[in-house]
Chains A and B, each alone.
Chain A
Amino acid sequence: MFGYDTEALRHLLATIIQNNIKLDAWTWLSKQGDINNTANFNAAFAMMPRKTGKAVITITTEQAEQLNTIRPGFVIEGWTADRLGRVYLLLQADATNREHYFAVIENLFLAAEMNELVALYSALPILAYPDFLVKRCAEGIRSNIGSVLEAIMYHNPYPAEYLPEAAWNQLVMKAIFTDKRLDLITGLNDRNNPELARILMDFARERGAAGRSVVPELWHLASPFTDAGIVNAVKQQYSTI
């Protein structure tokens, strides 16, 4: 169901959360997570910030390393308490009944506000049946909400691990189109591919023709799969800009 040690992750996140929210909020949160009581589960998910607050969490270097050992690439630094609380809640959900599990989670996506979407997409790397979340992840990349895109693109190991090439290439192009930081995309170099290079070079030509600039990382991604002479020729278009 999960590709990692869920018990260890639950335990570690519980410790981190307890260090970051008030005792009564933790007492409440520790009792939530029964997805067979859908109404309660939905309500707990929605009201998380009322309970946990929205302060940015603190986490020790050691805890960050432990996280990376349990679920490689999973990073929570800079998260707010409500975001972590929501991800923790999702982690409590019993995934035995796959159909019900997906119905509940998909329903959260359908009625989500902005910060809920951020939390939901942040949870992709730790949800059960990751193979079945590919379409949902690709749908998220179609969003135009900046913080939602960042939740998928930045420090999130799921896309690089599971997206097929076409969807991955969309992610990279969307990141460029929405001025995201490419250096924060997990797996950017590992997933680089000739088709992406072709798309990037076409894009560079189009931008050049329009008298607009491109981000320097574009050349870095395109170069391994593109003739150096062609890269230089297209770059020439930009010399006068």
Chain B
Amino acid sequence: MCCSHSFEDKPLPGQKPEAFDISAVKGMKFFDPHVHMTSRTTDDYQAMADAGVVALIEPAFWLGQPRTGIDSFRDYYSSLVGWERFRSSQFGIKHYCTIGLNSREANNEALAEQVMEILPLFVYKDGVVGVGEIGFDDQTAAEEKYYRLQLDLAKEAGLPVQVHTPHRDKKHGTQRSMDIAIEHGLDPYTVIIDHNNEETVKEVLDRGFWAAFTIYPFTKMGNQRMVEVVKQYGSERIMINSAADWGISDPLAVPKTAALMKLNGISAEDIELVTYRNAITAFAQSGQIDEADFGVNIDQSARFEGNSILRGGQQPRVDKSSIIIS
């Protein structure tokens, strides 16, 4: 979730931009474990599929516009397991999601209570690989209350947890998120701490949690910094994601960072771990990820007798460079 853009980290002027050469990562497979496709276009799906993204996780988050009623939440969760899952399958990308009450909307307590009541209806759904993204935003008492309740839900459902860490007072918020998770008896190996940076990563790894990094321009990690992090900390329990959403973000962040790592001499094995394998290992603890489903149709039942054009990877292409639209 990208909640509040601040633009103070703009790139230095005069830096020569290097073009993304997709051939550098040709043939590689990528898993983006955090991307809000609901807020993206079909162009993004096509570009992601072309760049080798075979599967992704869409965490439930704040849509930008606050929800005022329980039905909005219900329809949103339903769309994550329904319509968006189908939309993704049309481009040959396997779509998983995590379900949860985001920290920002946890502050609407009257509504949050109702959301907690319907969450059990969704966390057991097929293809739900975790409870997320949950955690702290402003670090209020209400946020803490619903974070704790959802940790218990994850434990009961046997699901990993995808933890959003705050933009403001980040280091402290990250530590608190981990402390509370441990207090609730969760195994750190089932908890993915998201949106790390150079300041938070060491403690997250030392305490046995998964450390996810969001490559997101201006407000989160840049991928040059990410290369340095992997050089320093290696690839164990580290994963990267785009967290692309309704803000200025890049759904190709994972393949682009893989390409940059390759150019900077990081081993193919390490690249595979941080851009594909580790995310699968972490979230497959849900029992809901089967690599055999990647890059194919919706699933077995959908393949039966089907020869519809609404099939994985078979969406018709339009020539965007042409003035003609037919």
Contact A110 B74 (CB under 8 A): yes
- Assembled-state Cα–Cα distance A178/B306 (Å): 12
Collect the chain A residues with CB atoms within 8 Å of residue B81's CB: 112-114
- Assembled-state Cα–Cα distance A54/B299 (Å): 9
Would you call A146 an interface residue if the criterion is a C-beta within 8 Å of the partner chain's C-beta atoms?
yes
Residue of A nearest to B81 (CB): A113
Collect the chain B residues with CB atoms within 8 Å of residue A178's CB: 308, 310
Collect the chain A residues with CB atoms within 8 Å of residue B305's CB: 78, 150, 154, 181, 184
Nearest-Cβ distance from residue B26 to partner chain A, whole angstroms: 30
- Assembled-state Cα–Cα distance A40/B86 (Å): 27
Nearest-Cβ distance from residue B99 to partner chain A, whole angstroms: 11
Contact A111 B121 (CB under 8 A): yes
- The bracket for how many chain A residues form the interface is 35 or more
Taking a contact as CB atoms closer than 8 A, the residue among A42, A111, A146 that contacts B74 in the complex is A111
Question: Which of A44-52, A128-136, A219-227 contacts its partner?
Answer: A44-52
**A78-B305, A112-B78, A113-B85 are contacts. A46–B300 as well, Cβ < 8 Å?**
no
Contact A179 B300 (CB under 8 A): no
**A46-B125, A49-B126, A150-B306 are contacts. A114–B300 as well, Cβ < 8 Å?**
no
Contact A113 B126 (CB under 8 A): yes
Residue of A nearest to B95 (CB): A114
- Assembled-state Cα–Cα distance A180/B121 (Å): 32
Would you call A80 an interface residue if the criterion is a C-beta within 8 Å of the partner chain's C-beta atoms?
yes
- Assembled-state Cα–Cα distance A50/B326 (Å): 45
**A78-B304, A80-B300, A146-B298 are contacts. A47–B124 as well, Cβ < 8 Å?**
yes
Contact B121 A42 (CB under 8 A): yes
- Assembled-state Cα–Cα distance A113/B127 (Å): 9
Would you call B302 an interface residue if the criterion is a C-beta within 8 Å of the partner chain's C-beta atoms?
yes
Would you call B4 an interface residue if the criterion is a C-beta within 8 Å of the partner chain's C-beta atoms?
no
Residue of B nearest to A80 (CB): B301
Contact A46 B127 (CB under 8 A): no
Would you call B309 an interface residue if the criterion is a C-beta within 8 Å of the partner chain's C-beta atoms?
yes
Nearest-Cβ distance from residue A21 to partner chain B, whole angstroms: 14
Collect the chain A residues with CB atoms within 8 Å of residue B300's CB: 54-56, 80
Residue of A49, A111, A112 contacting most chain B CB atoms (<10 Å): A111
- Assembled-state Cα–Cα distance A83/B307 (Å): 20
- Assembled-state Cα–Cα distance A49/B299 (Å): 12
Would you call B122 an interface residue if the criterion is a C-beta within 8 Å of the partner chain's C-beta atoms?
yes
Nearest-Cβ distance from residue A57 to partner chain B, whole angstroms: 10
Residue of B nearest to A49 (CB): B126
Name the interface residues of A134-173: CB closer than 8 Å to any CB of B: 144-147, 150, 154
Residue of B85, B124, B307 contacting most chain A CB atoms (<10 Å): B124
- Assembled-state Cα–Cα distance A145/B301 (Å): 13
Contact B78 A145 (CB under 8 A): no
Contact B126 A115 (CB under 8 A): yes
Collect the chain A residues with CB atoms within 8 Å of residue B20's CB: none
- Assembled-state Cα–Cα distance A13/B308 (Å): 29
- Assembled-state Cα–Cα distance A144/B122 (Å): 21
Name the interface residues of A16-57: CB closer than 8 Å to any CB of B: 39, 42-43, 46-47, 49-50, 54-56
A-B contact count (CB 8 A): 92
Nearest-Cβ distance from residue B69 to partner chain A, whole angstroms: 14
Contact A179 B308 (CB under 8 A): yes
0/1 per residue, B261-305, Cβ < 8 Å to A?
000000000000000000000000001000000000011111011
Nearest-Cβ distance from residue A201 to partner chain B, whole angstroms: 23
Collect the chain A residues with CB atoms within 8 Å of residue B64's CB: none
- Assembled-state Cα–Cα distance A50/B309 (Å): 29
- Assembled-state Cα–Cα distance A39/B117 (Å): 11
Contact B74 A115 (CB under 8 A): no
Nearest-Cβ distance from residue A56 to partner chain B, whole angstroms: 6
Would you call A118 an interface residue if the criterion is a C-beta within 8 Å of the partner chain's C-beta atoms?
yes
Collect the chain B residues with CB atoms within 8 Å of residue A111's CB: 74, 77-78, 118, 121-122
Residue of B nearest to A43 (CB): B124
Would you call A197 an interface residue if the criterion is a C-beta within 8 Å of the partner chain's C-beta atoms?
no
Nearest-Cβ distance from residue B83 to partner chain A, whole angstroms: 7
**A46-B125, A111-B78, A113-B85 are contacts. A146–B304 as well, Cβ < 8 Å?**
no
- Assembled-state Cα–Cα distance A184/B74 (Å): 34
Would you call B208 an interface residue if the criterion is a C-beta within 8 Å of the partner chain's C-beta atoms?
no
Name the interface residues of B109-150: CB closer than 8 Å to any CB of A: 118, 120-122, 124-127
Collect the chain B residues with CB atoms within 8 Å of residue A82's CB: 126
Contact A110 B124 (CB under 8 A): no
Contact B82 A50 (CB under 8 A): no
Would you call A238 an interface residue if the criterion is a C-beta within 8 Å of the partner chain's C-beta atoms?
no
Nearest-Cβ distance from residue B124 to partner chain A, whole angstroms: 4
Collect the chain A residues with CB atoms within 8 Å of residue B104's CB: none
9 closest Cβ pairs, A-B complex: A113-B81, A146-B310, A78-B304, A147-B302, A145-B86, A46-B124, A80-B301, A113-B125, A179-B309
Residues of A within 8 A of B (CB): 39, 42-43, 46-47, 49-50, 54-56, 78-80, 82-83, 110-118, 144-147, 150, 154, 178-181, 184, 211
Q: List 10 A-B contacts (CB under 8 A).
A: A47-B124, A56-B300, A78-B304, A111-B121, A113-B82, A114-B82, A118-B301, A118-B302, A146-B302, A146-B311
